[in-house]
Amino acid sequence: MVMAVSRQANASDAVPSWNLLMAMAMLAMLPPVIVVMVMQRQFVRGLVETEK
């Protein structure tokens, strides 16, 4: 996904279409954000827990 965004941004034959680039960037960021939101309680519990 990152390579596709990079190729689209560095298009030598035309001006890059920024609306498409921003949509691709948002789609690339979506899976990590979802994982953090779903696993947030476990992340915080792992940081706070001291009985390891």
Per-residue pLDDT band at 31 (split at 50, 70, 90): very high
| pLDDT for residue 46 | 86
Count of structural domains, the chain: 1
- The SS3 of residue 13 is coil
Query: Three-state SS across 30-42?
Result: HHHHHHHHHCHHH
pLDDT at 8 over 90: no
- The SS3 of residue 1 is coil
The dihedral through the CA atoms of 15, 18, 24, 25 has a sign that is positive
| Domain region containing 31 | 2-48
